[in-house]
């Protein structure tokens, strides 16, 4: 029977330390503050926003939301972003992406202060992740996977680790973070030739392709560690991951569920980033 890697256990373990760090900052006259910038009101954005605000409140971080209209112009959006970016009381910024199709993200990516970039938008932080420089801010989801593996005592050194997914949000940066911990990393994607064979050979299999239940039980090696990063909706309208969980759990030694898995840790990583940013800026 596989061990269930539950995100809430990781988040709860982080909460005490995050709360202590926040209290120390407040005693020194610093109120750590996260600003969320959102254009429109997509349900997935609102859902994550609720979770982020709840987590910030739980550890004592101030959270303010800058809600902008969906049909905002490029100039207006950049002006609103600049106001938040230049605000000295804001220590961290989280901007929901993708932006509405009529908006160009590139000027904002170049504008954001790397020290306030909590989810690795800027080229500076991306470069630091790829260079193994821990002074940068990695994408929260990618770092949440690393937190989960560490919490459950998964030894990465020398292990054959397959990452299915090549996005700049999870797949690529996560692969670099795994490599830094001396894992032997293979990056795959939906067009990889003989993907099942490569996945079966993995000691640690991480699914981050964004395709519901694409990792079937026959793609999981006996005793493998399986981390599911995907968030999808299946044919019945239920939330599910990239892994066929019910069948895969019979073969895995450790496996994370969706929901209540990696996603439950991301807001705690975000809080950790805000606290670090507040320390650095003061």
Domain presence at residue 11: no
Residues 64 and 169 grouped into a single domain: no
Residue 153 burial (C-beta neighbours within 10 Å; 0-12, 13-18, 19+): exposed
Q: What is the pLDDT of residues 139-165, one digit of tens each?
A: 999 999 999 999 999 999 999 999 999
In angstroms, rounded to a whole number, what is the distance separating the alpha carbons of residues 24 and 210? 39
Residues 100 and 145 grouped into a single domain: no
Q: Does residue 209 contact residue 229 with C-beta atoms inside 8 Å?
A: no
Domain presence at residue 273: no
Residues 69 and 161 grouped into a single domain: no
Domain presence at residue 5: no
pLDDT at 281 over 90: no
Q: What is the pLDDT of residue 233?
A: 85
In angstroms, rounded to a whole number, what is the distance separating the alpha carbons of residues 152 and 136? 25
Q: What is the pLDDT of residues 175-213, one digit of tens each?
A: 999 999 999 999 999 899 999 999 999 999 999 999 999
- Say how many domains are in the chain: 2
Q: What is the pLDDT of residues 3-62, one digit of tens each?
A: 999 999 999 999 999 999 999 999 999 999 999 999 999 998 999 999 999 999 999 999
Please indicate, yes or no, whether the overall pTM of this predicted structure exceeds 0.75: yes
Q: Determine which helix (DSSP H) or strand (DSSP E) holds 26, and give its type and residue range.
A: helix 7-27
Q: Does residue 84 contact residue 90 with C-beta atoms inside 8 Å?
A: yes
Angle at 278 between CA 271 and CA 139, to 5 degrees: 45
In angstroms, rounded to a whole number, what is the distance separating the alpha carbons of residues 141 and 147? 10
pLDDT at 1 over 80: no
Domain presence at residue 47: yes
In angstroms, rounded to a whole number, what is the distance separating the alpha carbons of residues 26 and 28? 5
Residue 117 burial (C-beta neighbours within 10 Å; 0-12, 13-18, 19+): buried
Domain holding 188, by residue range, is 140-263
Write the CATH number for 156.
3.40.50.720
């Amino acid at each position: 029977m596989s061990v269930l890697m539950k995100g809430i256990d990781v988040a709860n373990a982080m909460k005490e330390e995050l709360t202590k760090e926040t209290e120390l900052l407040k005693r020194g006259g610093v109120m750590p503050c996260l600003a969320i910038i959102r254009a429109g009101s997509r349900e997935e954005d609102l859902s994550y926003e609720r979770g982020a605000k709840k987590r910030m409140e739980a550890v004592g971080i101030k959270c303010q939301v800058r809600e902008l209209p969906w049909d905002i112009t490029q100039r207006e959006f950049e002006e609103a972003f600049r106001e938040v970016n230049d605000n000295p009381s804001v220590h961290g910024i989280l901007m929901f992406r993708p932006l509405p199709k009529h908006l160009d993200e590139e000027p904002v990516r170049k504008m954001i202060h790397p020290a306030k970039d909590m989810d690795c938008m800027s080229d500076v932080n991306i470069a630091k992740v790829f260079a193994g420089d821990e002074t940068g801010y990695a994408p929260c989801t990618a770092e949440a996977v690393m937190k989960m593996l560490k919490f459950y005592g998964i030894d990465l050194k020398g292990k054959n680790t397959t990452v299915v997914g090549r996005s700049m949000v999870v797949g690529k940066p996560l692969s670099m973070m795994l490599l830094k911990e001396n894992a032997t990393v293979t990056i795959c994607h939906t067009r990889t030739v003989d993907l099942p064979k490569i996945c079966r050979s993995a000691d640690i299999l991480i699914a981050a392709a964004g395709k519901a239940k694409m990792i079937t039980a026959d793609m999981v090696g006996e005793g493998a560690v399986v981390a599911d990063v995907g968030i999808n909706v299946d044919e019945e309208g239920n939330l599910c991951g990239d892994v066929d969980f019910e069948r895969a759990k019979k073969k895995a030694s450790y496996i994370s569920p969706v929901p209540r898995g990696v996603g439950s840790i991301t807001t705690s990583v975000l809080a950790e980033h805000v606290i670090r940013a507040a320390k650095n800026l003061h």
